[in-house]
Amino acid sequence: MDPADFVARLTPVSQKFEQAGVSSVAGLGAMDVAQALAGLDRGPYLLSIVMWAGDTGSLYHLENKLWADVCLVATEQKWIVTVGAEMLRGLSKMAVAEFVMPRLCAVCRGRGLINSRNGIVRDCNMCRGTGKAKISGRERARFAGISQNSWQRVWGSRYESYFIAHLNGWEIVASDHIRRKLNAA
Ligand SMILES: [Zn+2]
């Protein structure tokens, strides 16, 4: 079973999962999920409950965890952050929002598929079947309050390599963990 599908079973919140292509099935109890997530590190754990169990109350903690981890990298690598740690915090918030609650593609409305005129269903060209709207570097820079120039030279690649990559890593760890637990059960 797909981990997302598994965690989705716990919650009646289904619209989000349907959008993500995960069918929601009622049935598993809180103990099941507690068991499957037990032993996960904080980052992957928070990501799982926010992304797959609809626990939006933990978004704030997820953002803070990412922020704290990136601050460690920043110190290690001696990043020059002119406007202080708050800027890293803003980027953490943006990365979490983008990762956990992606904007839906305007063409297919998040389905990833479109019906062409002759009735054939095919992958949406705009989002290449992901259902997610692509956010440009220009938009990210504007949202983060960083100049386009500075975004292109420095922040764009840091954003991908540390913020988004961190979340990606957590998702992989969490999926593997849940899969292992399910197989062992
Ligand atoms: Zn699309």
Average pLDDT by consecutive 10-residue portion of the chain (185 residues)?
Answer: 57 40 42 79 93 86 96 90 80 92 86 86 88 88 91 94 95 89 73
pLDDT for the residue numbered 67: 95
Taking the centre of ligand 1 as the mean of its atom positions, its distance from the CA of residue 77, in whole angstroms, is: 38
pLDDT for the residue numbered 8: 57
Collect all residues with Cβ–Cβ distance below 8 Å to 175 and sequence separation of at least 6.
3, 4
pLDDT for the residue numbered 36: 83
Structural domain containing residue 88: 3-184
Taking the centre of ligand 1 as the mean of its atom positions, its distance from the CA of residue 123, in whole angstroms, is: 8
Given a contact cutoff of 8 angstroms between Cβ atoms, the answer to whether 43 and 170 are in contact is yes
Residue type, 39: G
pLDDT for the residue numbered 62: 97
Taking the centre of ligand 1 as the mean of its atom positions, its distance from the CA of residue 133, in whole angstroms, is: 7
Q: How many domains does the chain contain in total?
A: 1
Taking the centre of ligand 1 as the mean of its atom positions, its distance from the CA of residue 48, in whole angstroms, is: 25
